Amino acid sequence: LIKNGEIKILRDSLHQTESVLEEQRRSHFLLEQEKTQALSDKEKEFSKKLQSLQSELQFKDAEMNELRTKLQTSERANKLAAPSVSHVSPRKNPSVVIKPEACSPQFGKTSFPTKESFSANMSLPHPCQTESGYKPLVGREDSKTHSLRGDSIKQEEAQKSFVDSWRQRSNTQGSILINLLLKQPLIPGSSLSLCHLLSSSSESPAGTPLQPPGFGSTLAGMSGLRTTGSQDGSFSLSALREAQNLAFTGLNLVARNECSRDGDPAEGGRRAFPLCQLPGAVHFLPLVQFFIGLHCQALQDLAAAKRSGAPGDSPTHSSRVSSGVETNPEDSVRILEGFSVTALSILQHLVCHSGAVVSLLLSRVGADSAAGEGNGSLVHRFSDGDMTSAPRGVADDQGQHPLLKMLLHLLAFSSAATGHLQASVLTQCLKVLVKLAENTSSDFLPRFQCVFQVLPKCLSPETPLPGMVLAVELLSLLADHDQLAPQLCSHSDCLLLLLYMYITSRPDRVASETQWLQLEQEVVWLLSKLGVQSPLPLVTGSNCQCNVEVVRALTVMLHRQWLTVRRAGGPPRTDQQRRTVRCLRDTVLLLHGLSQKDKLFIMHCVEVLHQYDQVMPGVSMLIRGLPDVTDCEEAALDDLCAAETDVDDPELECG
């Protein structure tokens, strides 16, 4: 009888654990479904706005073509009908009524045409003529000849306008990308844009709108260094001009090429809409790589100068003196940071809109064959010899694209530096990596293996909170692959442990409470994803110190979320409050899963006992009062509240 009772208890416990796991899976599925639905709604809204803008653009284009056609027709009419007009003047003959809509360009017209007028404009326009029934006998033969000529001319113009209209319609994505790239400024708070990168050189006079002070001397000094240090001069003025010419070519190609969706890594990925190829966007990469590489080289020079103790002893200083240009390494870094942030912003737009750029950055084949159009050699030339002092492991993979190497190199440098601009560099690097991982398929995610060697520096206490949120988003994307998920806790610097310590300590004193809640929600959803996908969840499946810290971190996050909901008062009304309640429920399920799998769960709760005792009754009352509370959540709350009483015994023994 006793054995049967034990078996029954074990069977009930097993069923309860399975039901909790099933609830976690269902909760994760619902969360992913909500995210997918929200993303789908945003995509639909964006698609509607895009169609509206496209329609307005077509109407405006048709209006411009109409004005251009009327202007050309009017000029030809004035030349051909000059003799007849001299005999019959409209002023002297009031019976001649000229249509101003058909014979004169309407320069004052600013409104868009209606759909009916737009459809009428797409048909063959009528020749410029007087009102029927009022044409005088004088010059009738000349008018017939002019009518035939005008009819053929306008037919050609209408056909050309029709072709231009279809070309514009098929290249909407290219137009969006060009508009984003030409935005001034590219980043709020910055004065730089793509125009500055296309117009910058050491030959431009300093102080001009497109030439910031000190950039010319910095570029000349770097050019002298690279010319003496390498045979090809990766940062020479000729290389900059070549990169700028390629970028101009890329602008033209993106504006003219049709949107192709064949063979890009994003196909079959997690996007609701396939990513356009836009192969012309690849031509921007040499210019982006030039300024990112220039910034990396300046950071290396500054590190060498600090190691030597005196800037005058550094090889950079001597090379710049020999080139006749004096530039302090710190000044060079400060000048180039703004250009680097602008280049990273351009790269982010390219990764968001061009499948060809995503394919090239993640390709393991030579850039010469992937880039095409003769720009692959330039891409390689910019990177050869520039990664000699990169952090260990960053530049080891020879199969990486050179620009991806530089991006990781710059990410490692900016993680260890301080300052507002360096924080912007770190944030922009992570934004590029997040978009790159988001726009690629699961088959290409193993190419992000190299990122794990740099991420420990990004999760340090010195990292600002926006950068930490982006790092967690990147980890959540990489955790979708079975090969990458175990590596979150497989290095000497455990990424999960660093993340837990950052959350419990809250080192960023400038960040707002809303930003901290966003980070905590991202972490909870990351742990929920890991707990559902892995047969031995990473949160409890190793002997790492993160097994202890995860209990503390989840308890602290649960306490903060509960305080936020309690301060709001009443049921959740806003989307932010509903997300907080959803995150609180997921945190409860995570804690319950830990209590079932971690034999030392009670001991691990001792350090946060006061918060655990305070939060569990309030959380239990809050969740049980929700209309959609589930049986698994009630069972989890029962177990956690029972564990609360068990925690008191070790506490008393310690006392």
Quick: pLDDT tens for 410-441: 999 888 776 666 788 999 999 999 999 999 98
Per-residue pLDDT, 247: 94
Per-residue pLDDT, 403: 94
The H or E element spanning position 400 is none
User: Tens of pLDDT along 340-373?
Assistant: 999 999 999 999 999 999 999 998 755 444 344 3
The top-scoring range by mean pLDDT among 113-117, 332-336, 616-620, 639-643 is: 616-620
Cα(388)–Cα(295) distance, rounded to whole angstroms?
A: 14
Cα(366)–Cα(376) distance, rounded to whole angstroms?
A: 8
Residue-by-residue DSSP string for 232-278: S-TTSHHHHHHHHHHHHHHHHHHHHS----SS-TTTTSS-SSPPP--
Radius of gyration in angstroms for the set of CA atoms belonging to the chain, rounded to a whole number:
33
Cα(653)–Cα(655) distance, rounded to whole angstroms?
A: 5
Identify whether the C-beta of residue 197 lies closer than 8 Å to the C-beta of residue 250: no
Per-residue pLDDT, 233: 52
- Range in 115-119, 583-587, 611-615 the model is least confident about: 115-119
User: Tens of pLDDT along 123-133?
Assistant: 434 433 333 33
Q: Is the peptide bond before 185 cis (omega within 30 degrees of 0)?
A: yes
Per-residue pLDDT, 324: 44
Q: Which residue has the higher pLDDT, 423 or 537?
A: 423
Max CA-CA distance within the chain? 124
Q: Evaluate if residue 280 carries a pLDDT over 60.
A: yes
* Helix/strand/coil (H/E/C) assignment for every residue in 336-395: HHHHHHHHHHHHHHHHHHCHHHHHHHCCCCCHHHHHCCCCHHHHHHHHCCCCCCCCCCCC
Q: Evaluate if residue 506 carries a pLDDT over 70.
A: yes
Structure-block tokens of residue 655: 């006392």
Q: Evaluate if residue 645 carries a pLDDT over 60.
A: yes
The proportion of the chain whose per-residue pLDDT surpasses 70, expressed as a percent, equals 65
Q: Which residues pair with 98 in a beta bridge?
A: 130
The H or E element spanning position 97 is none
Q: Which residues pair with 130 in a beta bridge?
A: 98
**pLDDT-based confidence at 11, cuts 50/70/90?**
confident
Per-residue pLDDT, 215: 52
Cα(351)–Cα(330) distance, rounded to whole angstroms?
A: 31
Q: Evaluate if residue 652 carries a pLDDT over 90.
A: no
- 223-239: burial string, b at 16+ Cβ within 10 Å, e else: bbbbbebeebbbbbeeb
**pLDDT-based confidence at 557, cuts 50/70/90?**
very high
Cα(279)–Cα(285) distance, rounded to whole angstroms?
A: 11
Q: Crossing angle of helices 329-353/172-181, nearest 10°?
A: 160
**pLDDT-based confidence at 261, cuts 50/70/90?**
low
User: Tens of pLDDT along 101-110?
Assistant: 333 333 333 3
- Range in 245-254, 350-359, 459-468, 481-490 the model is least confident about: 481-490
Residues composing the chain: 655
**pLDDT-based confidence at 242, cuts 50/70/90?**
very high
Residue-by-residue DSSP string for 281-310: GGGGHHHHHHHHHHHHHHHHHHHHHHHHSS
User: Tens of pLDDT along 263-274?
Assistant: 445 455 555 556
Mean pLDDT across the chain = 73
- Range in 123-137, 164-178, 229-243, 426-440 the model is least confident about: 123-137
Angle at alpha carbon of residue 599, lines to 594 and 602, rounded to 5°: 75
Structure-block tokens of residue 158: 């209408």
Q: pTM value?
A: 0.68
Q: Evaluate if residue 245 carries a pLDDT over 90.
A: yes
Q: Crossing angle of helices 402-416/285-308, nearest 10°?
A: 40
Per-residue pLDDT, 13: 84
User: Tens of pLDDT along 380-416?
Assistant: 443 343 333 444 444 445 578 999 999 999 999 888 7
Name residue 552's amino acid. Answer: R
Q: Evaluate if residue 88 carries a pLDDT over 50.
A: no
Per-residue pLDDT, 164: 55
Per-residue pLDDT, 255: 83
Q: Residue ranges per domain, the chain?
A: 1-33+459-655, 70-170, 213-449
Q: Which residue has the higher pLDDT, 13 or 342?
A: 342
User: Tens of pLDDT along 456-478?
Assistant: 989 999 999 999 999 999 999 99
User: Tens of pLDDT along 513-529?
Assistant: 899 999 999 999 999 88
**pLDDT-based confidence at 573, cuts 50/70/90?**
confident
**pLDDT-based confidence at 159, cuts 50/70/90?**
low
**Residues contacting 466, CB < 8 A, separation 6+:** 423, 427, 511, 515
Residue 521 Cα distances to 29, 103, 392, 583, 584, angstroms:
16, 64, 32, 6, 9
Q: Which residue has the higher pLDDT, 23 or 554?
A: 554
Q: Evaluate if residue 602 carries a pLDDT over 50.
A: yes
DSSP state of 182: T
Per-residue pLDDT, 323: 42
User: Tens of pLDDT along 194-204?
Assistant: 988 998 764 44
What mean pLDDT is predicted for residues 482-501?
86
Q: Which residue has the higher pLDDT, 489 or 471?
A: 471
